[in-house]
Structure 1
Amino acid sequence: MRYFTHLFQIIKVGYLFSRCEIPDNFLPKNNKSLLNKLLNYNKKKKKTFSSTLESLGPAYIKLGQFLATRPDIIGSKFAKELANLQDDLPKFDKKISEEIIQSEFNTNIQNVFAEFDAPIAAASIAQVHTGKLSDNQKVAVKIVRPNIEEKFNKDFDFFYFLADFMERFNSDLKRLRFKESIKTMQRSVQMEMDLRYEAAAISEINTNMNENDEYVVPKIFWEKTTKKILTIEWVDGISVRDREKLIEKKYDLKDLARIIIQSFLTQALRNGFFHADMHQGNLLINEEGKLVILDFGIMGRLGEKEQNFLAEILWGLITKNYKRAAEVHFEAGYVPDDQKLDEFSQALRAIGEPLSGKNANDISMANVLTQLFEVTEQFNMETRPELLLLQKTMVVTEGVARDLDPKLNMWDIAEPIVKKWMEDKISPDTKIKQGIEGLSRFGVAISEFPNFLSDARKTNETFNRFLEESQSRSRQSQNYFKRNSFWIITVVALISLVILITG
């Protein structure tokens, strides 16, 4: 039955997609195929790809926002279009929110909030109310939509079916791991539906901050937070989209643009954990002129490997050492072994050389990152979701900053953050530190080796007792293992030692 339900949904979605322009990778490779002809039957495309996704509901809006981070799948044109996809849905009744609160805390709402107001904003997963605690503290209360998990799970079930269907007609989607991308997106949405994860993200961002940072995050009220409810302090401020009001309050727009860029880069590069939804609706300026960041449902994380990779490749491009930049890709395992280093170096040169001689304010760092990721298709590189999310967030963040300062000099603003980051990541001191840490791990492993041998002897004794009791073994094989089991287990211990050292 489910199969026929999916087929009906494919017909519905296919009809809607036939009325709009869609990415090439969502079309069969065979231009003469019946499916291709059906999708291109309507020559006058009256709707956009983003508006079609909006019409299909919350899960499709999330799919569109996720695809905006994957220009390798849908192309730069559609990625830019979907970057502006708004997650704005009708509000549900305040009484439903009150029932959810009473169910979660198993008490009357008056015992949880002194005041609880009507919703002020709603998105695909949750909506936000204002309220007050017993001490008169004003708060923002985020509440997950009722039955939303069941609805999303149903849609994701169809997305997997659709991904299988599309991969049969376009092998490129297999290389781009489209189905795996759907799985990544589902994990992200599942975390968004548990508001404790968002609270934990706010807490981690706050822990990573230092006194010199020019951004702030709201305080969490953990005792008023559950899986379905998030309570944070209400923060007053002016939206960064309200240029006229910012000018009226005599804020320096150029400096605000700098703060936005540097705040994002600090999170991404220094801390390796960044807010990945830096659009205007999530950014305020408070009375002190600091950036207030809201809505931590979508976060990005860069591991040590990705941070080192970015540091070395940016350094390679800045110094025009394209061969070294190419080698970094190969060393990181991002480029398949069957590709040629010199050809990849040439591709990087094609990106770097046109930047020479241009004014810094004419060069978009986001565009440079986009070009870097566009070469993935040519060289059959595996997609890196964490780097693509960084690139998408950079595009959005740079756009927000340029709205405040059209003459934004991205490189000058980024230079102190990126320079310090690269010094920390690829300086000789760092390399020495990494070497010492490696030796330290080796020393720990060596110090543990006597325990390995002791455990091996104990295991040998147990193993011998097992062999004595076993009636299913032949006497010949029993004698063999008795003679050799200690050395077999010792070899296993040595292999474990090697793994510990190299791990």
Structure 2
Amino acid sequence: MLRALRNLGRMVSIGRTLGRHGALPVDLFRDSAPFLAFILSLGNRNKAPGRPGQRLAAALQALGPSFIKLGQVLSIRADLVGEDVANDLAELRDRLPAFSGDAARAIIEAELERPITELYARFDDQAVAAASIAQVHFAETPDGRLVAVKVLRPGIEQAFQQDIDLLLWLADWAVRVQPKLKRLKPVAVVETFARTVALEMDLRMEAAAASELAGNFTGDATFGVPSIDWDRTAKRVMTQERIIGFSIDKVEEIRASGLQTDQLLAHAADAFFNQVFRDGFFHADMHPGNMFVTPQGRLVAVDFGIMGRIDRQTRLYLADMLIGFLNRDYDLVAKVHFDAGFVPASQDQELFKQAVRSIGEPLHGRPLSDISVGRLLAQLFAVTEKFQMETQPQLLLLQKSMLTAEGMGRVLNPHVNMWDLSRPLIERWMIENRGPEARIADLLSNVAGIARRLPTLVRDLERTANMLAEGGGLRLHPDSVAALAAVREREGRRWRRLGWAALLLAAVALGVALS
């Protein structure tokens, strides 16, 4: 009861802010709860400027840190808010007034348990960037290294926890009032948001993400990550190497320094492709403010609070999808969706193939340089909604990341498509992972797995039989023991035959591959 009263009070304040910006969700309830829609329409300021998505972004900005982060999460959920609103929310800038340098110093000293004068020879009180969760100060270590120090906002954990509790309460009620929203998993969306924010508010996790990404690009002269100063990093403080260079959207300054923007674009495309397909671990917020260019022409990413992961099988499904579209093989595209379980088996695969064709045919005959992979995925997700495709958060995050990366590419050169520049890399990856040799290697791997499990399966069967027969608790009749022994022997022979058959199949497959 107390929770409901507290949340209702907060809702009144939120409703007033949304109404002031003309952002109350009237359309969401127009069909299922017309009276509620009417009440909400009365609260909306109809003359608020901008498109619906822009008005919502302005309202979320006014509501503070939790809602700014929520807007960023919703910007990758076009299936939930619509593509136009999602695009407007993607422009939501995570910028807030900075808190004082004295507060930052106090947090650093409390977290690292040392006076700041021991930690840094110089610490700039003026923040160089301030966002909803943390802000960044420049500093210098006693051994002369230039660093950037990220510090969490005071009291930010408690503020987020209260708002997340409210959002969970609202998501639960939304499903009750509007049952068709259940497919979109609003409660799961909020829970995912809560986990994401919890990770962002532990700067050790961000430091670990930066370290992992740096390890994936060890030895790469074209793309890098700032090194982490682990001695000056804790839950609420992260210290990393300071990057000297240009923000990637400073095109004129980059050109004036003698660097080639097309070459930088090619490096950016390769780096993003390698993150997604080679490593399955990618920077999911690669907008121009998070990408710098050193005077030597090396790209360096910053801000690792939002990262994405895609397992190998999903990467292969995604590759098959793209191959299917480029080759007009809509049978393959449809089959991938059903095999992966993205679309329920109860749906009509032929009808789904027809829907996929409606996306792919307009691409036919167009050069790769004119195709936006991010836009292609957005259209695909919009179509699959009609076939009860369950939300795939990892693919939605990837789709939005692709759009952001493509937008960054257009900043460097609006006439060149980043995927066209990395075509050799794409083709090589496709051959290595989806060509005949790769498929045979997968087959051999599966066969080897069966062969490795055979002794264990037989041993477990024998152990179970012995345990049951030798007084470990359950006593069996001698006839039952004899029958079980016969079964054990028969099953052992069957598994051995399967093992030899698997090995024979492997040999045949290898022979075909080498012929």
Encode CA deviations 1:56-94: one digit per residue, 9 max, x unaligned.
110000000000111111111011101111111111122
Decide which of 166, 173, 176 is 2:184's aligned counterpart: 176
Match of residue 507 from structure 2? none
Match of residue 475 from structure 1? none
SS at match of 2:273: helix
Match of residue 83 from structure 2? 76
Decide which of 231, 234, 243 is 1:223's aligned counterpart: 231
- Amino acid across the alignment from 2:439: K
- 1:60 correspondence with 2:67: yes
Match of residue 9 from structure 2? 8
CA 1:58–1:482: 2 relative to 1, 3 Å: farther
For residue 188 of structure 1, report the CA deviation from its aligned partner.
0.9
1:113 touches 1:133 (CA, 8 Å); kept in 2? yes
For residue 151 of structure 1, report the CA deviation from its aligned partner.
1.2
TM-score, normalised with respect to structure 2: 0.87
SS at match of 1:447: helix
1:121 touches 1:127 (CA, 8 Å); kept in 2? yes
User: Aligned partners of 1:485 and 1:148: how far apart in 2?
Assistant: 68
Q: CA RMSD in A?
A: 2.7
User: Aligned partners of 1:392 and 1:22: how far apart in 2?
Assistant: 23
CA 1:109–1:262: 2 relative to 1, 3 Å: same
- 1:259 correspondence with 2:267: yes
CA 1:326–1:106: 2 relative to 1, 3 Å: same
SS at match of 1:40: helix
For residue 482 of structure 1, report the CA deviation from its aligned partner.
12
- Amino acid across the alignment from 2:186: F
Decide which of 95, 103, 112 is 1:96's aligned counterpart: 103
Match of residue 343 from structure 1? 351
- 1:364 correspondence with 2:357: no
Match of residue 116 from structure 1? 123
Match of residue 86 from structure 1? 93
Q: How does 1:313-332 map to 2 (within 5 A)?
A: 313-332=321-340
User: Aligned partners of 1:23 and 1:416: how far apart in 2?
Assistant: 48
- 1:187 correspondence with 2:178: no
- Amino acid across the alignment from 2:48: K
For residue 174 of structure 1, report the CA deviation from its aligned partner.
0.8
For residue 335 of structure 1, report the CA deviation from its aligned partner.
0.7
User: Aligned partners of 1:268 and 1:25: how far apart in 2?
Assistant: 38
Match of residue 31 from structure 2? 30
Match of residue 418 from structure 1? 426
CA 1:411–1:277: 2 relative to 1, 3 Å: closer
SS at match of 1:27: helix
1:126 touches 1:144 (CA, 8 Å); kept in 2? yes
Higher normalized contact order (CA 8 Å, seq sep 6+, divided by chain length): 1
CA 1:199–1:459: 2 relative to 1, 3 Å: farther
User: Aligned partners of 1:433 and 1:361: how far apart in 2?
Assistant: 32
1:25 touches 1:173 (CA, 8 Å); kept in 2? no
Match of residue 386 from structure 2? 378
For residue 410 of structure 1, report the CA deviation from its aligned partner.
3.8
For residue 212 of structure 1, report the CA deviation from its aligned partner.
4.6
SS at match of 2:29: coil
2:324 touches 2:333 (CA, 8 Å); kept in 1? yes
1:456 touches 1:486 (CA, 8 Å); kept in 2? no
Match of residue 167 from structure 2? 159
For residue 117 of structure 1, report the CA deviation from its aligned partner.
1.6
For residue 164 of structure 1, report the CA deviation from its aligned partner.
1.4
SS at match of 2:124: strand
Match of residue 19 from structure 2? 18
TM-score, normalised with respect to structure 1: 0.89
CA 1:98–1:458: 2 relative to 1, 3 Å: farther
For residue 196 of structure 1, report the CA deviation from its aligned partner.
1.2
1:253 touches 1:404 (CA, 8 Å); kept in 2? yes
Q: Which region of structure 1 is more displaced relative to structure 2, 115-124 or 478-487?
A: 478-487
1:23 touches 1:74 (CA, 8 Å); kept in 2? no
Match of residue 52 from structure 2? none
User: Aligned partners of 2:68 and 2:140: how far apart in 1?
Assistant: 32
User: Aligned partners of 1:128 and 1:116: how far apart in 2?
Assistant: 11
Q: Percent identity?
A: 37
Match of residue 473 from structure 1? none
Q: Which runs of 5+ in 2 are unaligned?
A: 50-54, 500-515
For residue 288 of structure 1, report the CA deviation from its aligned partner.
1.3
Q: How many residues align?
A: 483
For residue 411 of structure 1, report the CA deviation from its aligned partner.
4.0
- Amino acid across the alignment from 2:205: Y
SS at match of 2:308: strand
CA 1:460–1:110: 2 relative to 1, 3 Å: farther
SS at match of 1:277: coil
1:26 touches 1:170 (CA, 8 Å); kept in 2? no
Q: Which runs of 5+ in 1 are unaligned?
A: 468-477
